[in-house]
Amino acid sequence: MSGTGPVLALREVTKTYGDVGALRGVTLDVAAGELVAVVGPSGSGKSTMLNIVGTLDRPTQGSVSIAGNDVATMSDNALSALRAEHVGFVFQQFHLQAGATAAENVADGLLYSATGRRERRRRAHEALERVGLGHRTDHRPTQLSGGEKQRVAIARAIVGNPTILLADEPTGALDSASGAAIVTLLRALNATGTTVLVITHDLGLAASLPRQVRMRDGLVEHDSAVGPAGDIAASIGGGW
């Protein structure tokens, strides 16, 4: 880990919904600049962990630190500010406004920051350039392919220069060629310093990334950064 400590730290995090334990004691460190796959079957807890890491939900027990901020001590307003400054989200579904242009959709990623309208638009164009869509700024979602829509969604997620980019099944709604292009883009963003967590059930995608965190039944079952490295697909077997 870097000398300044992990950019993300979970310590014995649990999350229960009634009698159901979605997370049952997760401890995880992610250093600045890492590219990590969080992989697991449905019900493994990876989506719950995503919500907690993204400060969309609070743990039942345990501690969460994001960019040195102890989430447990923060008010809802402070968490919203933390999320706006440090966390970008990309989802399987693109969640774009149909009547808005690509640039307008991306600029929406700065609505909760103290950024003027002209500056939001300038930064939206810059973010679209970064994802290879500088020529599509005035196109609406109906005029874009699936891969282009996901690129717009990624541009919206990075327009505020977040510390951590959380990508939840970012290739799940795409064909294989478009999905591969999105993974290449995530790698390029990571190469410029963005910490990226990719939540996925795609074993091939997970195995292609530098670090794999495998979850099952609300626990981290294997972490290639702290345990013996191995073939992630082979170690899981046929139970997915």
Q: Note the pLDDT of residue 229.
A: 43
| pLDDT bucket at 4, cuts 50 / 70 / 90 | low
Structural domain for 74, as ranges: 8-228
User: What b/e sequence results for 171-208 when a residue is b if at least 16 CB atoms lie within 10 Å of its CB, and e otherwise?
Assistant: bebbeeebbebbbebbeebbeeebbbbbbbebbebbee
Residue 237 has pLDDT above 60, yes or no: no
Q: Is residue 148 part of a domain?
A: yes
More confident position, 68 or 239: 68
3 domain residue, yes or no: no
* Inter-helix orientation angle 176-191/146-158, to 10°: 20
The predicted-structure confidence for 82-112, as pLDDT tens digits, reads as follows 998 899 999 988 999 999 999 999 999 888 7
The answer to whether 114 touches 156, Cβ cutoff 8 Å, is no
Give the pLDDT score at 44. Answer: 93
Handedness of CA 144, 146, 150, 151 (dihedral sign): negative
The verdict on residue 20 lying in a domain is: yes
Q: At 108, which CATH number?
A: 3.40.50.300
Is the pLDDT reported for residue 232 higher than 80?
no
186 inside domain: yes
Give SS3 for 76: helix
233 is a domain residue: no
**Is residue 44 assigned to a domain?**
yes
CA distance 84 to 204: 31
Residues 123, 126, 132, 138: what is their CA dihedral angle, to the nearest 10 degrees? Answer: 60
Residue 24 included in any domain: yes
**For residue range 147-200, what is the model confidence (pLDDT) as tens digits?**
999 999 999 999 999 999 999 999 988 999 999 999 999 999 999 999 999 999
Tally of domains within the chain: 1
pTM for this structure? Answer: 0.88
Higher pLDDT, 114 or 19: 19
Task: Flag whether 59 is in a domain.
Answer: yes
